[in-house]
């Protein structure tokens, strides 16, 4: 697959992600990052973040905008020799009518055939939202999905990667992970940017007096990456009065000092590839706080959930609905015989949080009652998941279900 790119100093997350595999990279940059009159190619517009999609925002910041694409590239699109890929595969925002209306208008103004412009991001719910908002006009775009950070984790654990996280030591790690005598704390809850699900989860742990019995990181409300404000969290509580009991704990979280449980100096996205194995060995299960906490408008997981599954660590997830399905679709097994997954199908975030925390308390009670029996009950699935990740089967599933699906779509679009 030949590509060129615009809008950034490199080809972006998708081009980087497909190269994380055994063997040859299926994506090739055309010489000089320039089109030729005979080449069939994808022009990737690298999007650093969603708000910069707006022409007005780009102009104010004096930044390049996709409306500045060369006329020759647009001509190749009309002739069927090229497609344009808006690559936001590092994020998964909900549908923004203003941003997409501007894109539809630009496509119409330039008389680009339907389907030659492709939106690539993580959120699986955006296509239906586009159809609901724009009707037939939404067909001007094609929607494909790529989970860059999940792919990164798959490659990190694969034995095909010479820098694999576990490598030849994974069987020894499995032995340590499922040794009940090594367990010091109930759960592991890692938090960076203080997003809504993380602040609410911290408040719930505080309310249920679980923080002291857990391994918990939380950087406080001031962080290198801007998160939710305390006022926004309290507004969420006002809209969801069933969670009003958390209000005092939210105030406590707001003044909580930073809690740090690892030795990493990195912050923000630099933490994506950082894993402290001992934190998993010392705790029974993970309480994963995801980036989103939507009512169905966002359908994705990130590397945070993938890490727990690769580590064989039973995971309860405070995030979007259907989070477990993402991992089982990529070949992992789930601990559904041990963990009640009732929260999975619940779209209302407040109700989902309460169900997850109810399950946290249930698991905590079972662990305190008989830790060795609990560990024995999760060992088989956990061991399978570690081996699935290390064997390279996880990265192979990503190649098949993400890389190849997107590449096949792009190749089909420029070969008709």
- Residue-wise DSSP of 103-129: HHHHHHHTTPPTTSEEEEES-TTHHHH
Distance between CA atoms of residues 240 and 52, nearest Å: 32
Where the chain has pLDDT below 50, the residues are none
Judge if 104 and 205 occupy the same domain. Answer: no
Judge if 312 and 197 occupy the same domain. Answer: yes
Mark which of 102, 131, 146 sits at the end of a domain.
146
Mark which of 117, 146, 175 sits at the end of a domain.
146
Q: At what angle do helices 303-310 and 148-157 cross, to 10 degrees?
A: 20
Distance between CA atoms of residues 194 and 1, nearest Å: 39
Determine the pLDDT at residue 416.
57
Judge if 223 and 270 occupy the same domain. Answer: yes
Distance between CA atoms of residues 389 and 311, nearest Å: 8
Q: Which of 379, 385, 288 is nearest to 332 (CA)?
A: 385
Judge if 79 and 208 occupy the same domain. Answer: no
Q: Does residue 411 fall inside a structural domain?
A: no
Which tokens sit at 363? 């698991």
Q: Does residue 408 fall inside a structural domain?
A: no
Judge if 327 and 246 occupy the same domain. Answer: yes
Distance between CA atoms of residues 374 and 299, nearest Å: 31
Residue 142 pairs in a beta bridge with 118
Q: Which of 338, 370, 339 is nearest to 356 (CA)?
A: 339
Judge if 347 and 204 occupy the same domain. Answer: yes
Q: Does residue 137 fall inside a structural domain?
A: yes
3-state SS assignment for residue 27: coil
Q: Which of 391, 281, 288 is nearest to 339 (CA)?
A: 288
Determine the pLDDT at residue 224.
58
Given the structure tokens 């929607």, which residue do they identify? 143
Distance between CA atoms of residues 300 and 15, nearest Å: 20
Q: Does residue 181 fall inside a structural domain?
A: yes
Farthest-apart Cα atoms in the chain, separation: 71
Q: At what angle do helices 230-239 and 247-254 cross, to 10 degrees?
A: 170
Distance between CA atoms of residues 340 and 31, nearest Å: 54
Judge if 353 and 312 occupy the same domain. Answer: yes
Q: At what angle do helices 230-239 and 196-207 cross, to 10 degrees?
A: 80
Distance between CA atoms of residues 41 and 315, nearest Å: 41
Judge if 261 and 392 occupy the same domain. Answer: yes
Q: How many domains does the chain have?
A: 2
- Expressed as residue numbers, the domain containing 108 is 2-146
Judge if 140 and 166 occupy the same domain. Answer: no
Q: Does residue 413 fall inside a structural domain?
A: no
Q: Does residue 412 fall inside a structural domain?
A: no
Q: Does residue 38 fall inside a structural domain?
A: yes
Q: Which of 397, 388, 416 is nearest to 166 (CA)?
A: 388
Determine the pLDDT at residue 165.
92
Mark which of 93, 125, 146 sits at the end of a domain.
146
CA angle, 314 then 319 then 323, to 5°: 60
Judge if 76 and 165 occupy the same domain. Answer: no
Judge if 191 and 335 occupy the same domain. Answer: yes
Q: Does residue 198 fall inside a structural domain?
A: yes
Q: Which of 275, 327, 284 is nearest to 302 (CA)?
A: 327
Judge if 142 and 154 occupy the same domain. Answer: no
């Amino acid at each position: 697959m030949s590509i060129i790119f615009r809008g950034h100093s490199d080809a972006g997350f998708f081009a980087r992600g497909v190269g994380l595999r055994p063997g040859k990279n299926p994506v090739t940059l055309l010489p000089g990052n320039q089109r030729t009159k005979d080449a069939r190619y994808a022009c990737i517009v690298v999007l650093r973040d969603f708000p910069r999609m707006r022409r007005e925002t780009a102009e104010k910041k004096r930044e390049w905008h996709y409306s500045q694409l060369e006329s020759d590239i647009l001509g190749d699109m009309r002739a069927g020799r090229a497609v344009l890929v808006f690559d936001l595969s590092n994020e998964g925002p909900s549908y923004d009518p203003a941003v997409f209306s501007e894109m539809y208008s630009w496509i119409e103004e330039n008389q680009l055939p339907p389907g030659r412009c492709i939106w690539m991001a993580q959120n699986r719910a955006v296509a239906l939202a586009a159809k609901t908002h724009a009707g037939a006009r939404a067909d001007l775009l094609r929607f494909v999905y790529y989970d860059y950070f999940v792919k990164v984790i798959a490659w990190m654990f694969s034995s095909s990667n010479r820098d694999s996280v576990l490598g030849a030591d994974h069987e020894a790690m499995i032995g340590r992970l499922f040794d009940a005598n090594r367990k010091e704390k109930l759960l592991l809850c890692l938090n960076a940017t203080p997003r809504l699900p993380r602040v609410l989860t911290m408040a719930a742990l505080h309310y249920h007096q679980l923080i002291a019995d857990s391994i918990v990181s939380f950087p406080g409300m001031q962080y290198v990456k801007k998160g939710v404000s305390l006022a926004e969290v309290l507004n969420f509580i006002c809209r969801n009065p069933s969670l009003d009991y958390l209000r005092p704990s939210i105030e406590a979280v707001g003044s909580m000092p930073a809690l740090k449980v690892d030795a990493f100096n990195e912050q923000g996205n630099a933490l994506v590839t950082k894993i402290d194995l001992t934190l998993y060995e010392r705790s029974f299960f993970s309480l994963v706080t995801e980036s989103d906490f939507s009512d169905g408008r966002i359908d994705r997981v990130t590397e945070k959930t993938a890490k727990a599954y690769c580590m064989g660590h039973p995971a309860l997830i405070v995030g979007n609905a259907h989070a477990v399905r993402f991992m089982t679709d990529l070949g992992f097994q789930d601990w559904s015989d041990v963990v009640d997954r009732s929260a999975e199908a619940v779209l209302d975030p407040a109700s989902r949080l309460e169900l997850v925390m109810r399950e946290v308390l249930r698991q905590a009670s079972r662990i305190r009652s008989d830790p060795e029996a609990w560990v024995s009950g999760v060992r088989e699935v956990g061991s399978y998941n570690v081996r699935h990740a290390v064997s390279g089967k996880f990265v192979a599933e990503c190649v098949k279900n993400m890389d190849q699906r997107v590449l096949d779509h792009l190749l089909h679009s420029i070969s008709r």
